[in-house]
Chain A
Amino acid sequence: MLYGYVLKMIIADRAAIYVNTVFDAETYNTYVGFTALIGAVLFAVQIYCDFAGYTFIAIGAARVMGIQLMNNFNAPYFATSIKDFWDRWHISLTSWFRDYLYIPLGGSRKGKFRKCLNILIVFMVSGLWHGASWHYVIWGMLHGILRVLEEITGKLCARLGELLHVRRDVFSYRLFKMLLTFLIVTLCWIFFRAESIRQALDIIKNIFVQPNIWVLFDGSLFTLGLIAKDFNVLILFIGIMMAVDYLRSRNRQLTATFCKQNVLFQWLVFIAGIWCVLVFGIYGPGYDATQFIYFQF
């Protein structure tokens, strides 16, 4: 539960400050290149930490009452393909769609074409489930199309890899696929976050229109709501989140492993966690209470 608060209050709500500036309906066109790209990346971080944070809080609260809830995320940004991403993201909804839509539609039993069509239908409905707006539908459709492309080109890519003698069992190959998947998912998230398709397309165009790499060095990033110290905290906690995700993906029983440690170590972790939430968390009279993004769905 405490980890959920760390994700929500320290990472998601902090990232939201920058994201809200870059996606502001009035001024989004003034942010180009890396400024906009970092906004998109931070939205990917925000939506994960917001939703996973809410899930961890719910899982922890339920466990206090003796109820065991299923895990809803499994390090989704470590996914190496879109299919892998959806096996790790919002697992409860994905399995619901699989059981109550994809399989009744015929699943993969009625040939390649029907399988691809079923995937497209499921992702389109998934988009609609998030809201009755075209940008959600486009977001769902994009994932559907990417999933279908993976399905169609999977064997071709494998054959191409063999021809080019690409080793697929090494870390660098997995890292490349991981980064590529993250980049694609992040670009898709722009449609999810934007208020319209027009805005989403403009932001994507703005990302590529000017490669202003100097914004990483000239301090201008720190004028968009988060000062340098806030960025440092954000990066530090994103690092912690990635480390926890890595450990969770290696060891599904991380909580049980933690509970086996000495009391003093457990206390230190609890106190450090609570301290970090209370000091670095985004809350208090100076802030609007940022609702959980998924509360609207």
Chain B
Amino acid sequence: MIKIGKAVKFTVLSIVFVMVMVCFFSRTTYVVREKFGTEMHDLFTKFEKDSLDTIFVGTSHQFCSISTDLLDFEYGINSFMLASSGQTVPMTYYAIMEAIKLQHPKTIVFEALYCANDFRVIDAGMSHMFFDGMPYTKAKRLAINDLIEPKERIYYYFDLGFYHDRWIEVTEADFKPREYSERGTYFSDHVMYNWEIPVVDKSEKEPMPDEMKKYLDMIIELCKENDVELIMYVAPYNALYDDDYARQNLFYMQRVFNWIEEYVEPQGIPFHNLFYEMDEIGLDGNTDWMDSQHCNYAGQEKITRYMVEKGYIK
């Protein structure tokens, strides 16, 4: 009897100890974690289940081009920005899997920049930005196992191991949530001159990388299976530098976008290549860019309004 009592006491104490540890270390992880990007999932999970109509996925070009707040305030479109910097096509596939599981939106808007980049992941910083705020769902587990090298996986399940040396730069702000838009809208008021964006002829095409095509097909299939409308578009951007090498890279990407349009539209998926609609959008190189590739709030507003007014986003 005494032995049973001791065993019960030991078990209860062990469980309480583990719970205290988990709470303590979750809080520590939150404090040292890099906040930019990782809080997106925290905001996303705060929405009531199946309450969002539209979810935006893709890269920084997505969140710099679309304002979900504007969509809500002025057009009554109930949406969320689930895009993140360096979100590759495989990552987008898992982001959509999570989005469908938690929200089952009517529409997913996929900004297709990285369809032309043959990367499963860009670098550890961007991968962590995508994964670390993500709740421990099946999508997260599948994504980590698929995209992350085995020896690195531990730091995605246990990201304190990745961020712990940020204790050096922790400030008061790290103890509080950032004042984000609750719909994940990114806001930049930085202004940088952007030179004229060169565009290839629409007839020029180049196939997308095989690996990315495989994931694009998986995205299309996933949306079909779950009866979610998939809309694809590519936001305009300039070459990274005003030189020939960067320009050739931009042209390659544009040829791939033209190929993707031809590939997905017969499958009933609209693809809006905004490189060919820049004049109608009215983007101004003097006022609408935060750098050569990303719009600031002014460009973001123009693209968002244009997308709604043209009926690309409903």
Contacts and interface: CB of A to CB of B under 8 A. Distances in A.
Nearest to A267: B17
Contacts, number: 40
Interface in B1-57: 13, 17, 20-21, 24-25, 28, 32
A280 B155 CA distance: 16
A285 B155 contact: yes
A165 interface: no
Interface residues of A, number: 17
Nearest to B16: A267
Contacts of B277: none
B165 interface: yes
A164 to B, nearest CB: 50
A227 B13 CA distance: 40
Contact of B21 (A274, A281, A284, A286): A274
Contacts of A31: none
A279 B167 contact: yes
Nearest to B17: A267
Given A275-B25, A280-B167, A285-B155, A263 B13 contact: yes
A269 B32 CA distance: 22
Interface in A252-289: 263, 267, 270-271, 274-275, 278-281, 283-286
Contacts of A110: none
A24 interface: no
B28 A284 contact: no
B161 interface: yes
B162 interface: yes
Contacts of A229: 168
Interface in B251-267: none
B162 to A, nearest CB: 6
A230 interface: yes
A276 B20 CA distance: 16
Given A267-B20, A278-B25, A279-B28, A284 B162 contact: yes
Nearest to B161: A284
Contacts of A283: 161, 164
A185 B161 CA distance: 36
Interface centre among B24, B165, B168 (most CB of A within 10 A): B165
Contact of A275 (B13, B28, B124, B168): B28
Interface string B160-191: 11101101100000000000000000000000
A274 B164 CA distance: 13
B152 interface: yes
B168 A284 contact: no
A8 B28 CA distance: 22
Interface of A: 227, 229-230, 263, 267, 270-271, 274-275, 278-281, 283-286
Q: Which 3 A-B pairs have the closest CB atoms?
A: A284-B161, A279-B164, A229-B168
